[in-house]
A and B are shown apart, each in its own frame.
Chain A
């Protein structure tokens, strides 16, 4: 069965420190993974997808099929990065399975 696990519900770092939000998945097919973000009082929106292999707002994520992981990383966290982050796995055709989310707080 498909499953997405984000082991940390809360993550707190200081400004300028590196940050890593963990995501592990379980899927029998070829995985396609995404990170969505919800800033305070804003809508949930796509941050990045593994197929694009791009860096958005300084964040990167690499798909590791051996470890079935798709961790989100940023070398120097900023206060404006404080938000709720969701890892999502594309499953059958049109659907996404979301993890439970990680609330990131970047302290000044």
Chain B
């Protein structure tokens, strides 16, 4: 199993551009999460999903959108990128009845 995969690994965006961060897991997990990690800070939850077709906001959802059309994929969409969205983005997933979250390798995003 590849576990949780994220693409791209690194991206530079110009202010106002948009992009989609991809996240895929092959463990058939129902729960999936998007976090951002700013330098010197902990992980902040952006959005999460408890199953295909169901998403909910986390702590810092402004400027982002998500969709969950399949169990495997949970893309994160940035519209009108801003410098404040410069961060490392982590995707995670977990089984319904187990609390352990499995993390992807992260996507480093720089907005200039």
Partner-B contacts on A (CB < 8 A): 4, 6, 9, 32, 34, 36, 43-46, 49, 86, 90, 94-101
**How distant is B10 from chain A, measured CB to nearest CB, in Å?**
14
**59-101 of chain B: CB within 8 A of chain A:** 59, 90, 92, 99-101
Question: In the complex the two chains form, is B48's CB within 8 Å of A95's CB?
Answer: yes
Q: With A and B bound together, what is the CA distance between A99 and B102 in angstroms?
A: 18
Question: In the complex the two chains form, is B41's CB within 8 Å of A44's CB?
Answer: no
Among the listed A32, A49, A101, which residue makes an inter-chain contact with B42, where contact means beta carbons less than 8 Å apart? A101
Q: Name A96's closest neighbour in chain B (CB-CB).
A: B101
Residues of B within 8 A of A94 (CB): 31, 48, 50
Q: With A and B bound together, what is the CA distance between A44 and B92 in angstroms?
A: 10
Question: In the complex the two chains form, is A98's CB within 8 Å of B42's CB?
Answer: yes
Question: In the complex the two chains form, is B48's CB within 8 Å of A99's CB?
Answer: no
**How distant is B91 from chain A, measured CB to nearest CB, in Å?**
11
Give the interface size class of chain B.
20 to 34
Among the listed B40, B48, B90, B99, which residue makes an inter-chain contact with A100, where contact means beta carbons less than 8 Å apart? B40
Partner-A contacts on B (CB < 8 A): 31, 35, 40-45, 48, 50, 58-59, 90, 92, 99-106
- A-B contact count, CB below 8 Å? 42
- What are 29 A-B pairs with beta-carbon distances under 8 A? A4-B42, A6-B42, A9-B40, A32-B99, A36-B101, A43-B103, A43-B104, A43-B106, A44-B103, A45-B102, A46-B100, A46-B101, A86-B43, A90-B99, A94-B31, A94-B48, A94-B50, A95-B45, A95-B58, A96-B45, A96-B101, A97-B45, A97-B59, A98-B42, A98-B44, A99-B42, A100-B40, A100-B42, A101-B42
Beyond contacts A98-B42, A100-B42: 9 other A-B pairs, Cβ-Cβ < 8 A, are: A9-B40, A32-B99, A36-B101, A43-B105, A86-B43, A95-B45, A95-B48, A95-B58, A96-B45
